[in-house]
């Protein structure tokens, strides 16, 4: 009985130490991200506005090349609802939501434009992006943020992060950090003007 109590006590101590180590590690990692280090790469000479883009703001325009070599400019999509989704191939939550985004693209493509902005600066190999797209059979636009400026402008520090732009080009709904389910996406579509 005494041995079992000691084992339980050691287990509790181990869990508490694990929590402390976890919190210290992720607090340091968050500080690194805020300082422009880690996965979040700040383009040289670009100031960071840690507030990012807020509800009611005109969505900052950008023009990026797609994986297949075309160019897309956000302002040219006025009149459509737009999801701007920031993602990377190494991100498990991104992988989880991509099939739902494909379903939304197939069902709501005339009404909603999905722009999947890849954080290419965080990728180990650009070929990984094409392999990921092929594996999941994605057909919506995959934009390559080569300089990381769009990720910085939209403060996409955690991936995935999605912004919801209405038909007037305004951010209408608070950004979603983390993966979305199909039903969540449908709800956002219905909420957007």
Q: What is the pLDDT of residues 107-116, one digit of tens each?
A: 999 999 999 9
Rounded to whole angstroms, how far apart are CA atoms 42 and 84? 19
Rounded to whole angstroms, how far apart are CA atoms 66 and 73? 10
pLDDT at 77: 96
Within the chain, what is the greatest distance between any pair of CA atoms? 72
pLDDT at 121: 85
pLDDT at 51: 59
pTM: 0.74
pLDDT at 28: 41
Rounded to whole angstroms, how far apart are CA atoms 140 and 21? 40
pLDDT at 31: 38
What residues of the chain score a pLDDT lower than 70?
1, 3-52
């Amino acid at each position: 009985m005494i041995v079992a109590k000691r084992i339980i006590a050691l287990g509790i101590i181990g869990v508490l130490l694990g929590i402390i180590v976890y919190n210290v590690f992720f607090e340091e990692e968050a500080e690194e991200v805020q300082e422009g280090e880690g996965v979040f790469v700040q383009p040289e000479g670009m100031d960071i506005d840690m507030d990012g883009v807020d509800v009611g703001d005109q969505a900052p325009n950008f023009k990026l090349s797609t994986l297949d070599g075309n160019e897309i400019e956000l302002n040219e999509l006025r009149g459509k609802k737009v999801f701007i989704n920031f993602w990377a191939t190494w991100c498990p939550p991104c992988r989880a939501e991509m099939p739902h985004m494909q379903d939304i693209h197939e069902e709501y493509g005339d009404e909603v434009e999905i722009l999947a902005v890849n954080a290419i600066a965080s990728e180990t190999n650009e070929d990984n992006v094409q392999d990921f797209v092929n594996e999941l059979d994605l057909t919506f636009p995959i934009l390559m943020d080569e300089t990381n400026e769009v990720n910085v402008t939209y403060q996409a520090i955690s991936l995935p992060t999605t912004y919801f732009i209405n038909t007037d080009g305004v951010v209408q709904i608070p950004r979603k950090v983390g993966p979305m389910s199909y039903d969540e996406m449908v709800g956002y579509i219905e909420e957007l003007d």
